Structure 1
Amino acid sequence: MIGGGTGLPVILKGLRKKDVDITAVVTVADDGGSSGVIRNYINVVPPGDIRNAMVALSDVPELYKKIFQYRFKTDDQFFSGHAIGNLIIAALSEMDNNDIFEAVQQLSKMMQVDGHVYPASNTPLTLNAKFKDGTHLAGESEISAAGKTIEKVWVTAIDDTEPQAVPEVIDAILNADQIVLGPGSLFTSILPNLMISNVGEAVLKSKAEVVYICNIMTQKGETEHFTDAQHVRVLHDHLHHNFINTVLVNTEPVPQNYMDRQKYDEYLDQVKHDFKGLRAQGCRVISDNFLELRDHGVFHNGTQVVEELMQLIGRPNSWIN
């Protein structure tokens, strides 16, 4: 799986119950919240998405997970807003001379991770965006907050080197039976991974079926008024190739006035469907009720999505026309 944000762990938790070898390739371009503060202070890959993926695949007792995930209260001046797991990942990385990849592998053993969690890059990356009005911005949080229509994104390394993934990431992609993108923010969780040149190239070279889990809701500052076909078009345009084989689309309507708009203020309207537009891009469309409603928010039903992914694995090469 390739992605980041809150959607990735939902699917990882479901996959962990199946007899599959899971590798999560996680974005390292986050510059907000606790991850952003840690990144700015000690120049380490932002650990938040990595932490959540590890917990989703961990076999340690629930108490250990709760401690790892615990976030200090905002009135704790020194540790305000920081998750303990973020601090542990940062410390291990510093102990390993800022080798975040090796630090995550060591911690994965401690956390009894059932699978692999790989940072998409071993160095912190900055997400850059060009907007339709011709302006540019750098930084995930700045881009999301701009409220402008994004034309394209790319990543740069903070040490001015060419962004690259370590060989283990590329080998995992090339040897995969199935590559899953999402669910997650299109421009700030999925594309930052694919814009690392050797990651994007590996996805195009892979013989695995590429499955995109389309978002249920459009997102403020990223995908306002987007259809499912427009989500896929953006992915194809960025890699200059129609590489997505199958798209999972939720068709269950979200009940009116269910969402807490203050708590989930980044989400706008339900993604509209354009199945003709998806098929015109060479995609097989699988539509079903993938909706889960909880805490007055809208999420993917991890169990339903995973069952569909498992069925796809059982039908090798079935996406080829």
Structure 2
Amino acid sequence: MKQETFRKRKPKIVVIGGGTGLPVILKSLKEKDADITAIVTVADDGGSSGVLRRSFNAVPPGDLRNVLTALSEIPELQREIFQYRFRSDDQSLSGHTIGNLIISAMADMRGNIYEAIQLLAKMMHVKGHVYPAAEEPLNLHARYMDGTTQCGESQIPKKGKMIDVVSVTCVEEERPVQASRKVVSAIMNADMVVLGPGSLFTSILPNIMIPAIGKALIETEGKVVYISNIMTQLGETEGLNDADHVKVLHKHLGTKFVDIALTNIGDVPQDYIEQEENEEYLLQVEHDFKGLKEEVPMIISDDFLLLTGNKVYHNGEKVAEEIFRTAFNSQRKMKEYL
């Protein structure tokens, strides 16, 4: 009887990151019978998010907006309105999305970003939970291999140097960075914690460099999965293969905490690599099976490519299926062990 009850419980899957890759995976995971929690970076300082961050001295809303939209079950038209971006010639509203303005206004009304996001999640019929990694904007700092430093998520890749390590600090005061409420408990109670996909140094690491989140990733009994990027990124990961990505994660927390690496082995067509519109992305990330085996106990490799228009994405449906199956099997094995 206990075994049957257990099998009916939804696997608890926590996804951590930011950028454009995270919503792709979340949108597909939403269709699975899983209890989803998204933990979203708050170190962005570029574009519309950066302007609103400086104007309101508040958490940048862009990544949170995309995650809310991905997990929302409101009609398509309402999602399109939430994601609508004003044209560049609209003067004071130039480049802003309606969703960014709504999130900033709601945070101002409620007095904090956490309550604002929870209220919006209810209004948007979000399937799952969405938490900012911290409840205040953070500064991202990078030290390059040559010993020089740079502050600012949007500025770090522009130096064109190899990054050694990154860290985060509070914007206004010199005090320890605190994780947002419920973030640590979500990680500790998860069956699986997924990192990425997303920019390694500027979307994933800003979250895990929050001390309480890093500690929880090391201590959780849930399996930690890293989804390797498909393409290298200018100013971030040139010359790094998939094993190198995992090594960077382990270096930052000082221990091997990733249990599973999910990596693409499908070949990206050359004409996609040469697209000028994708100049931020340089070459396909090479697969180093031997190197990965030295870093993680388990590797999931397959053709995870989705080629749309002139851009390369992860096939969210295939990735979500692998994540869900592995989380469910891990959950079942834990029950059998107990």
Structure 1 length-normalised TM? 0.97
Q: Look up the equivalent residue of 2:40 and give its one-letter code.
A: V
Name the stretch that deviates more: 263-272 or 228-237: 263-272
Q: Which residue among 19, 34, 45 is the counterpart of 1:5?
A: 19
Name the stretch that deviates more: 202-211 or 255-264: 255-264
**In the alignment, what sits opposite 1:80?**
94
Q: Which residue among 318, 325, 330 is the counterpart of 1:304?
A: 318
For 1:231 and 1:316, the matched residues in 2 are separated by: 24
The residue correspondences of 1:264-303 to structure 2 (distance < 5 A) are 264-303=278-317
Aligned 8 A contact 1:177 1:209 in 2: yes
2:231 counterpart of 1:217: yes
For 2:85 and 2:76, the matched residues in 1 are separated by: 16
2:60 counterpart of 1:49: no
Aligned 8 A contact 1:131 1:149 in 2: yes
2:331 counterpart of 1:313: no
User: How far has the Cα of 1:209 moved from its partner?
Assistant: 0.4
Q: Which residue among 119, 124, 131 is the counterpart of 1:118?
A: 131
The residue correspondences of 1:143-222 to structure 2 (distance < 5 A) are 143-160=156-173, 161-222=175-236
Partner SS for 1:212: strand
| CA offsets 1:257-282 (integer angstroms, 9 cap, x no match) | 12463222210000111111111113
Which protein has the bigger helix share? Answer: 2
For 1:246 and 1:264, the matched residues in 2 are separated by: 29
Aligned 8 A contact 1:260 1:296 in 2: no
| CA offsets 1:221-270 (integer angstroms, 9 cap, x no match) | 00001110100000000000100011111101011112463222210000
Aligned 8 A contact 2:273 2:282 in 1: no
| CA offsets 1:82-121 (integer angstroms, 9 cap, x no match) | 0000000000101122x10111001111111010110000
Q: Which residue among 71, 92, 107 is the counterpart of 2:120?
A: 107
Aligned 8 A contact 1:246 1:285 in 2: yes
The residue correspondences of 1:129-144 to structure 2 (distance < 5 A) are 129-144=142-157
Q: Look up the equivalent residue of 1:31 and give its one-letter code.
A: D
Unpaired runs of 5+ residues, structure 2, are 1-14
Aligned 8 A contact 2:187 2:216 in 1: yes
Q: Look up the equivalent residue of 2:62 and give its one-letter code.
A: G
2:260 counterpart of 1:246: yes
Counting matched residue pairs gives 318
Aligned 8 A contact 1:10 1:300 in 2: yes
Give structure 1 regions of 4+ aligned residues with deviation exceeding 2 angstroms: 258-262
Partner SS for 2:19: coil
User: How far has the Cα of 1:168 moved from its partner?
Assistant: 0.5
Partner SS for 2:87: coil
CA RMSD of aligned residues (A): 1.2
Aligned 8 A contact 2:17 2:197 in 1: yes
For 1:282 and 1:244, the matched residues in 2 are separated by: 6
Structure 2 length-normalised TM? 0.92
**In the alignment, what sits opposite 2:48?**
34
For 1:107 and 1:281, the matched residues in 2 are separated by: 39
| CA offsets 1:96-148 (integer angstroms, 9 cap, x no match) | 22x10111001111111010110000010010000011101000111011110
**In the alignment, what sits opposite 2:38?**
24
Partner SS for 1:166: coil
Partner SS for 1:215: coil
Unpaired runs of 5+ residues, structure 1, are none
Partner SS for 1:130: strand
Partner SS for 1:316: helix
Q: Which residue among 224, 231, 236 is the counterpart of 2:250?
A: 236
Partner SS for 2:213: helix
**In the alignment, what sits opposite 1:95?**
109
User: How far has the Cα of 1:314 moved from its partner?
Assistant: 2.4
Identity %: 56
Aligned 8 A contact 1:260 1:297 in 2: no
Aligned 8 A contact 2:192 2:225 in 1: yes
User: How far has the Cα of 1:48 moved from its partner?
Assistant: 0.2
